[in-house]
Amino acid sequence: MFRVSPPFELKKLGTIFKYKVLKMLLNKGKITKVMIAMLSTWKYSGFHVFYGNRIAPLFFDAQYPLTIKNIPHIFSSTERNTLSIPSQYLINKIGSCCSKSGRIQLSNPGTNRRSIMNTPNGFHFRWRQLLIMAVALSLLMAQAVASQMMSVQVKSGQARKSPTFLGPVIADFAYGDRVQILTQQGAWYQVALPSGKGQGWMHMSALTEKKIVLKAGAKDVSQAASSDELALAGKGFNKQVENQYRTRNPNLDFRQIDQMEALTVSQAEIQGFIQDGRLTAKGGAQ
Amino acid sequence: MNQISRREFLMLSGRLTILGLGAAAAGRLLAGCATLDSMAQSGITIPVAGVNVNTASIASSVKAVSKTFEDITPEQEYYIGRTIGAQILNKYRPYSKKAANRYINVMGQTLAQASDRPETFGGYHFLIQDSDEINALAAPGGLIFITRGMLRCCPHEDAVAAVLAHEIGHVQHQHGLQAIKKSRLTDALTTLAVEGTKTFGNEQLASLTTAFEDSITDITSTLINSGYSRAFEQTADVAAISILQRVGYNPNGLVDMLKQMDRQLKPGRLDFAKTHPDPQTRISQITSQIGVYQPVNLIKNRQSRFEAALKGV
């Protein structure tokens, strides 16, 4: 059996946290003043320190996603996921900060004196650890805005020089590859090419916000079942299932389908077709 | 006052959370467990609490969110599409003339690139089928079939483009996948996926294949027998018009094709007549979108390549 402390008077805790933690991190050279400015002004990354007396699931599940769902274009789904995970992580960490000494230690920036709060149940929270997590949480969020990652969801993805299929292909991507989105123009995303080789354009239909796990372990599988943020490559209806289906339905001729897929058309051929037929196709650049 | 160790506390709170009782039982305690892939990505090093929870218990107690057709990944759509394609080819055999098929493919790719969904997992591929029946079918993921009978309803390239664009519209809006009964999807996409962690065992593979078979039957019975809803057909027509306009075809090509089809369709036959709304109805819907019918101007190059490629079809 265990109990917890009564609600504290912690209205200014957010400010205290912010001050102490940022000062500490700055002294240690972990962050810069620019980052502090960013953290303090960014609308969605404030130090949301929970000081109520009851934690409902809604608090952790809904608070960030609700805000973030209003600006979905800024975040990839993975990052939206990232935003909700740290809050759970935070809960977990707070649990791990508990010790048997029965005290909560809280540094007070005003007096620079460590105040000790006794709790009846034998746990204490080490606030400093909590504070580090709070900052980490905010840094994570800041990073979420800075880089949106998406996954290639087609068998073979291409990045082109310009935002049209008529532009030459400058890089190839494999199924599940993660790409960093730089800008958007219509239905096209400008993506960073691997190993800093500049930028290219990919049509949005080739990309997904989901993270595609190529070799899913048990954890990924259970996560994918309970969320929409993860896609498992090679799971569910796959080659293995097709083969099984083919054994059960020997009358079906899949070789014809293979032949059909083998017929490919080059971009040059398409361009010739457009010109020859006096068409005005712009290669998906609407 | 009983005290519990940190480890016991974590184990207990973790389990309670897993059981879905976390909210009630944890009360004021901050408790929970999470996987921290995201932390690893952040580049910030934070010691992770040593929560040791049996993953099997997560898998069995995890609440699968209900799935819709949108949860079918493009990869899975691709495998569904291949099988639907094989079923369609079981109905009508392929037409072997290479020039005609290449012509259809180049045109189809040009159109697909102008659609709202130019990229699918395996890409778009087109095939003429050797049948006098007037029909065109699209399997999920971009395998598109058109019969010789349908091509004969097309007086010019703009009309063929209209048929292909209509089918691309079905692929774009995933109408085929939407025919799969919802009850099957949650089963097929979550429960079975949870069971089959690595490669599927015989039992899982058998039940997954059965779910696959059922999904295929859902689609083929709609696609080949009953046809899509009128709303879906209209959506595909709307998509077709926008694709045609983007590529530079006259959308009245669709009207020309429908007029021709109206003359050739025989009521009661097992083809387009059965699975599509009446051509006159479609024509009036289309003209309400693109304005009064204006005949398609035949462009010399376009018409001559059309006649050359589909000669004898």
The closest CB to that of B34, out of A4, A85, A241, belongs to: A85
Instruction: Residue B86: count other Cβ atoms within 10 Å of its Cβ.
Output: 23
Question: What's the pLDDT at B66?
Answer: 67
Higher pLDDT, A47 or B155: B155
Does A268 reside within a domain? yes
What proportion of chain B, given as a percentage, has pLDDT over 90?
Answer: 55
**Structural domain total, chain B:** 2
The last residue of a domain, from among A100, A123, A146: A146
Residues A136 and A172 in one domain: no
The last residue of a domain, from among A124, A146, A168: A146
Q: How many helices, marked H, and strands, marked E, lie in chain A? A: 9, 11
Residues B40 and B173 in one domain: no
The last residue of a domain, from among B23, B40, B61: B61
The closest CB to that of A242, out of B3, B82, B301, belongs to: B82
Residues B143 and B235 in one domain: yes
Could you tell me if B268 lies within 8 Å of chain A, comparing CB atoms?
no
Question: What's the pLDDT at A151?
Answer: 95
Residues B160 and B37 in one domain: no
Q: What is the mean pLDDT of each run of 10 residues along chain A (286 residues)?
A: 60 73 84 76 51 44 39 44 43 40 38 39 52 67 60 95 93 94 93 89 94 80 74 84 93 95 95 96 83
Residues B52 and B89 in one domain: no
Most confidently predicted of A44-48, B65-69, B140-144:
B140-144
CB contact under 8 A, A55 and B23: yes
| Contacts A208 to B, Cβ<8 Å | 74
Residues A153 and A172 in one domain: yes
A-B CB pairs within 8 A amount to 299
| Residue range B120-132: mean pLDDT, rounded | 97
Mean pLDDT of chain B: 79
Residues A125 and A170 in one domain: no
Question: What's the pLDDT at B70?
Answer: 82
Residues B134 and B158 in one domain: yes
Question: What's the pLDDT at B71?
Answer: 82
ipTM confidence score: 0.77
User: Three-state DSSP class for B273?
Assistant: helix
The last residue of a domain, from among B25, B40, B61: B61
Q: What is the token pair recorded at B129?
A: 């089928």
Higher pLDDT, B128 or A96: B128
How close does chain A come to B85, measured CA to CA in Å? 7
How close does chain A come to B267, measured CA to CA in Å? 29
Does B304 reside within a domain? yes
- The interface residues of chain A toward chain B in range 147-166, judged by CB-CB distance below 8 A, are 153-155, 157, 165
Which residue of chain A comes nearest to B118, CA vs CA? A205
For β-strands B125-129 and B143-147, DSSP reports them as: parallel
CA-based nearest residue to A8, from A87, A100, A91, A103: A103
CB contact under 8 A, A234 and B213: no
Which residue of chain A comes nearest to B124, CA vs CA? A261
Residues B159 and B134 in one domain: yes
Q: Measure CA B9 to chain center.
A: 48
Lowest mean pLDDT among B87-96, B222-231, B272-281: B272-281
- Residue B65 pLDDT grade (very low, low, confident, very high; cuts 50, 70, 90): low
In DSSP notation, B63-132 reads -PPP--GGGS-HHHHHHHHHHHHHHHHHHSPBP--HHHHHHHHHHHHHHHHTSS----SS--EEEEE--S
Residues A24 and A74 in one domain: yes
Residues A236 and A134 in one domain: no
pLDDT exceeds 80 at position B52: no
| Residue range B180-193: mean pLDDT, rounded | 73
Does B210 reside within a domain? no
Question: What's the pLDDT at B186?
Answer: 74
- Torsions phi, psi for A215 (to 5 deg): -120, 90
CA-based nearest residue to B40, from A141, A91, A82: A82
Residues B123 and B19 in one domain: no
The last residue of a domain, from among B61, B79, B97: B61
> A142 lies in which domain range?
13-146
Higher pLDDT, B67 or A161: A161
The closest CB to that of B59, out of A133, A140, A218, belongs to: A218
| Contacts B35 to A, Cβ<8 Å | 85, 219, 223
**Structural domain total, chain A:** 2
Does B213 reside within a domain? no
Does A140 reside within a domain? yes
Q: What is the token pair recorded at A88?
A: 């759970």
In DSSP notation, A203-253 reads EGGGEESSEEESS--HHHHHHHHH-SSEEETT-SS-HHHHHHHHHH-TT--
The closest CB to that of A233, out of B33, B75, B120, belongs to: B75
Residues B54 and B78 in one domain: no
Question: What's the pLDDT at A26?
Answer: 86
| Contacts A236 to B, Cβ<8 Å | 73, 76, 188-189, 192-193, 208
Most confidently predicted of B26-40, B273-287, B296-310:
B296-310
Could you tell me if B96 lies within 8 Å of chain A, comparing CB atoms?
no
The pLDDT tens digits for A120-132 are 443 444 566 666 7
> B124 lies in which domain range?
71-177+225-309
CB contact under 8 A, A265 and B106: yes
Beta strand extents in B109-229 (DSSP E only) = 125-129, 136-139, 143-147
CA-based nearest residue to A142, from B42, B198, B192, B183: B42
